[in-house]
Structure 1
């Protein structure tokens, strides 16, 4: 009987705290709200991770820019998704092997990673195809929330990005991290005042905690849950050159069942508040490029959506009201 009483008390307490987590957790204060996020500045509508892409996305009305960082040989923090330059420039060199002034221009045609078999084809304008420095982006968009993916496990890169964030007073308007738990932990240790992404390992832990009833009792250092819709993985694996194993399909479907739970998103949203006193913990989906995907994400309770096509998402948001 005692065992049943203990288990029953645990279940009831867990359910109550899952619904009302602020009974024991202090609400996180996040100073921005973003429904519209431009992946690499909008890789389907301009040269990815360039000043021209960022400026165009902001002009369209994006509420957050997503970008990636690497370190050059001369210690400059450059905005680029790939460490190796072959895909983006045709030059088989790593960014870390070159000084910033020696980086080649982006190719005129760039594949769009999350839109298989599609390319962005731009002009031959040299200025549009240059790699920007992170400091240039910070200077150009001082009040714009920015999501920074620290692409490699490099202490110097993390330190320099942190220094730039502090120099431009951007702790409240920047979120950083990586799928790697080791990188994300280093980001947090280096500057715990910057908004933090869940690593993939911590997402897995989040699922375990939710289904064991422990989540309401555990403090979370992260502020932003960035996750993918399983359909995105299936779409990328749909490329002719891809090998899509049955086990991979099983993993993706398992994620769909276990993680795509509105009750989880509602719990996380209740753990944090933005400056306007609207209750949210940040949950957003990457990288969605079709209207049905936008709808699926917001119907699940996402705060925002990250896209390669800022214009498409803007039109969707104009035609669909999401609280």
Structure 2
């Protein structure tokens, strides 16, 4: 054995053992985050499979079905109103090729009679409510319900107005900043640093890198929520625009890298919740929870409610047997 290896092997061995121990016991280095909510049932766009997405009727239906968290998207109109809509251009949702930012709130067209469910192709939703609502209306209607607000565009004024509404309705601790770019997230955190934040895709990639290099247990994380897709949905119900992401080998690789129960358990132990989107079938619900996800984001609030009732009953029944056997069965499924 070469002399340097006499030193390198024990150092690497000690590092690996320490990293593994801290992965299992993160409280030694990190204070657990204490969010005032724990979300298992999350309604994507208010439950876009049961009512027209992002409408007050959709949010009402989700709350009736005991959702823990409403997920919605925001844009700003020409006259400075913060509205709830996934798309900036309204062609898909309304049939009118117009941009929200170019219209006043009163000029916004109504939703179509029915919309295809984005993450469940071939399925459509409908409802009696076809109006694009104000974010303020959602806050007023559901004052105590945690809400995940995704900022869809890089607009400092939009971020400021959302923050003002959050403060006005005293819901800072119950409203999550969400966006897909670091630039927008920096603006969100600067505008209201007291709101919990999600990992952006880039930060999520760094999280995986830290996990696989063993550095994760040593690194502080400012985020409170992981929101990510479950890779096994790709080419089934989720069809990314990037053709590279649809490559079967890369899908398989992503699934192996991302769906790690040890990772999810470590994050949960640090008070960081893990939400997987957008799941609309019982088999996917089951796998998400077996892999240790905190919560599921779905288009079908009533369907997920029914599943959770059955799942909890099964867990209680399984609890009568050896805990190790149950844990082993869950690990096999994941």
TM-score, length of structure 1 as denominator length: 0.91
Q: 1:147 corresponds to which residue?
A: 148
Q: 2:63 aligns with which of 53, 58, 65?
A: 58
Is 1:92 aligned to 2:93, yes or no?
Answer: no
Matched, 1:13 2:12: no
| Residue 46 of structure 2 is aligned to residue 47 of structure 1 | no
Once the two structures are superposed, residues 214-248 of structure 1 have per-residue CA deviations (whole angstroms, 9 ceiling, x without a partner) of 11111101000111111222224569xx8955863
Instruction: State whether residues 307 and 313 of structure 1, in contact with CA within 8 Å, keep that contact through their aligned partners in structure 2.
Output: yes
In 2, Cα distance between the equivalents of 1:243 and 1:267?
A: 31
Check conservation: 2:76, 2:100, Cα contact below 8 A.
yes
Q: Does the CA-based 8 Å contact 1:46-1:120 persist in structure 2?
A: yes
Pairs aligned (count): 309
Q: For the structure 1 residues 237 and 302, does the alpha-carbon distance in structure 2 shift closer, same or farther, using more than 3 Å as the test? A: closer
Q: SS at 1:129's partner residue?
A: coil
- Partner in structure 2 of residue 289 of structure 1: 280
Looking at structure 1, the residues matched to 39 and 10 of structure 2 have their Cα atoms a distance apart, in angstroms, of 44
**8 Å Cα contact 1:177-1:183 kept in structure 2:** no
Give the direction of change, closer, same or farther, for the CA distance of 1:30–1:238 in structure 2 (3 Å limit).
closer
RMSD of Structure 2 on Structure 1 (CA): 1.8
* Structure 2 residue 86 is the aligned partner of structure 1 residue 81: yes
Q: Does 1:301 align with 2:287?
A: no
- Counterpart of 1:26 (choices 25, 31, 36) is 31
Do the aligned partners of residues 265 and 237 (structure 1) sit closer, same or farther apart at CA in structure 2, a change above 3 Å counting?
closer
Question: In structure 2, what is the equivalent of residue 185 of structure 1?
Answer: 186
- Residue 234 of structure 2 contacts residue 246 of structure 2 at CA under 8 Å; is this kept in 1? no
Give the whole-Å Cα distance in 1 for the aligned partners of 2:19 and 2:88.
44
Counterpart of 1:277? Answer: none
Q: By how many angstroms is 1:114 displaced? A: 0.5
> Equivalent of 2:108, from 103, 125, 128?
103
Q: Which runs of 5+ in 2 are unaligned?
A: 1-5, 317-334
Q: CA distance change for structure 1 residues 48 and 260 in 2, over 3 Å: closer, same or farther?
A: same
- In structure 2, C-alpha distance between the alignment counterparts of 1:63 and 1:3, rounded to whole Å: 49
The CA deviation string for residues 179-198 of structure 1, in whole angstroms up to 9 with x for no partner, is: 22222222222212111111
Residue of structure 2 in register with 1:278 after alignment = none
Partner of 1:276: none
SS at match of 2:235: helix
If you compute each CA radius of gyration, which structure gives the higher value, 1 or 2? 2
2: CA distance between counterparts of 1:250 and 1:289? 24
CA distance in 2, matches of 1:57, 1:23: 38
Separation in 1, partners of 2:253, 2:244: 14
- Cα distance change of structure 1 residues 238 and 78 upon mapping to structure 2, 3 Å threshold: closer
Cα pair 1:237 1:243 within 8 Å, conserved: no
